[in-house]
Amino acid sequence: MKRATIITAAALIPPHPSLQTLRKAAANCRACDLWKSGTQTVFGEGSPQARVMFVGEQPGDREDLAGRPFVGPAGKLLDQALAQVGVDRNVVYLTNVVKHFKWVPDARGKRRIHKKPRYSEINACRPWLDAELAVVKPQILVCLGATAAQALLGKDFSVSRRRGELVESGLAPYVMATVHPSSILRAIDHESRRLQMESFVADLRKVAQLLHKSRKAA
C-alpha cells in the first residue's frame, strides 16, 4: 500500500536555532496551505529567557494583520488577567500551535471568521513549536484552550475537567492547561463572563506562584 507523504516544517528548522533565525525561517513556511490565506506567519514573541510560555491555538484576525501573537481582543483579556496576578507580559513567551490565521469569510463576505485548524495543519506546524520550546526551555508551560492542550498533552485531554491542574509532561518542569481567553469573550452574559474571568485568573495565579518559586530556586 502506498503511504501518503506527511509534510511538516521539520526541514525548515535552521541548525542551532535561535528565536531570531526561527522567526526568519518561519516567515517563508509553506508546510501546509494556510500561508495562502494568511497575511503572514505570526511567530511567537518574547524573551528567549522567559520562564513561562503560553501556547494558544492560532493567530486571530488582528494578529494576522499585525504579525504578532495575542494583540487582539483575546490578547487584551490575557493581558488583563496577567496584570491581575502580577505577571508582566514582558516576562512571558507567547506563541501558538499554528502560526497562520485560518479563516472563512462571513455571510456578507466582510469579516474573516476564525476556523479551527485541522490535525494535518497542527502537525505540519509542530516543528516550529518544538523548536521554540527547545530554545526558550520554559519552566512553566501553559496551554490555552483545547487545541493547544490536545496538541501538546494528548488528543483525549479535557480542559474542562483538568484545567488548572499540573500535568505530568516532558515538555517543561511544570505544565498546565486552562481555557482559551476567547472562550471568556464568548460568555453569554456579564455575570458568566465575570465568573469565567475569575476562574481564569485563579488558574493564572497558580502560574504566578510557580514563577515566583522557580525564580527563588534559580
Binding footprint of ligand URA on the chain (CB under 6 A): 56-60, 63, 69-70, 72, 74-75, 96, 182
Nearer to ligand URA, 185 or 201 (CB): 185
Nearer to ligand URA, 40 or 214 (CB): 40
CA-CA distances (angstroms) from residue 101 to 5, 69, 123, 134?
24, 11, 15, 24
Q: Alpha-carbon torsion 162, 156, 77, 44, what sign? A: positive
Q: Identify the DSSP state of 51.
A: S
CB 74 to ligand URA: min, Å = 4
CB 2 to ligand URA: min, Å = 36
The full length of the chain comes to 218
Nearer to ligand URA, 100 or 206 (CB): 100
Contacts for 150-159: CB closer than 8 Å, 24+ residues apart: 151/97, 151/122, 151/126, 152/55, 152/97, 153/177
Nearer to ligand URA, 157 or 214 (CB): 157
CB 190 to ligand URA: min, Å = 22
Position closest to ligand URA via CB: 56
Closest CA to 95 of 54, 127, 36, 124: 54
Specify whether the CB–CB gap between 75 and 68 falls below 8 A: no
Nearer to ligand URA, 45 or 140 (CB): 45
CB 187 to ligand URA: min, Å = 16
Between CA 35 and CA 12 the distance in angstroms is 15
CB 5 to ligand URA: min, Å = 28
CB 180 to ligand URA: min, Å = 6
Nearer to ligand URA, 185 or 202 (CB): 185
CA-CA distances (angstroms) from residue 117 to 100, 121, 146, 204?
9, 6, 12, 26
